[in-house]
Every structure is written in C-alpha cells, then in structure tokens.
Amino acid sequence: MGLIRWVIIVLLFYLIYLVLKGMIRSAGPRHEGGERDRGQAAESQAAVDLVQDPLTGVYFPRSEGVASMVDGRILYFLNTENRDKYLLTRTGYRPGGEG
C-alpha cells in the first residue's frame, strides 16, 4: 500500500504544478491582438525587403524605390531626385540629355 500512496502523492503534486504553470502563463503580460496576431505581424515585417539608398544611406522598402541600372548593377533609390544626384556625381550623366 505504501507504493500506491507515493504514486498518488507524486501525481497530485504534478497536477498542482501544471495548474500553477498554466495560471502563471495566463497572468503574463497581455498584448493587444493575442499570440496569433503578433506572429502574423512579425511575419509580415520580415517579408519586407529593405534596400539602402546609395546616395543618402537611408533604408526603405524596395517596392517603394526607384530602380536604376548603374555599372551593370541595379541600384534602388528613395526617389528620382536622389537617383539623378547620384548619377550626376558618379558618372557625370544628367538625365534628360543635359550634360
């Protein structure tokens, strides 16, 4: 009978442990939107491909930039003004045929 009593006591302590563990988890910090929304937000942030403007060094989403072929490479610029300044200082080329 002694062994069965010890097994029951160990099981009771284990059940108490699981209940307390669940209570501590649920009492943790609450975030608006819950676990699932936070995971989706992190996933969507990770999907954004950032590039650096070679003129200013600013990072921005590639989809919002202006692409231009320079020395056989595609460079992405924040806007057309930055692209034009970069091309003028780097190659002496002025878009629009002036120069």
Query: Which DSSP state fits 7?
Result: H
Task: Give the rounded distance of the alpha carbon of 43 from its chain centre.
Answer: 7
Q: pLDDT exceeding 90 applies to what percent of the chain? A: 49
pLDDT tens by residue, 21-42: 888 887 766 655 555 555 555 5
Q: What is the pTM of this model?
A: 0.49
Return the structure tokens found at 51.
């590039």
Return the structure tokens found at 77.
């610029």
Residue 98 has pLDDT above 80, yes or no: no
pLDDT tens by residue, 3-27: 999 999 999 999 999 998 888 887 7
Asked if residues 91 and 78 have their Cβ atoms less than 8 Å apart, the reply is no
First to last CA, the chain: 100
Q: How many CB atoms lie within 10 A of CB 53?
A: 19
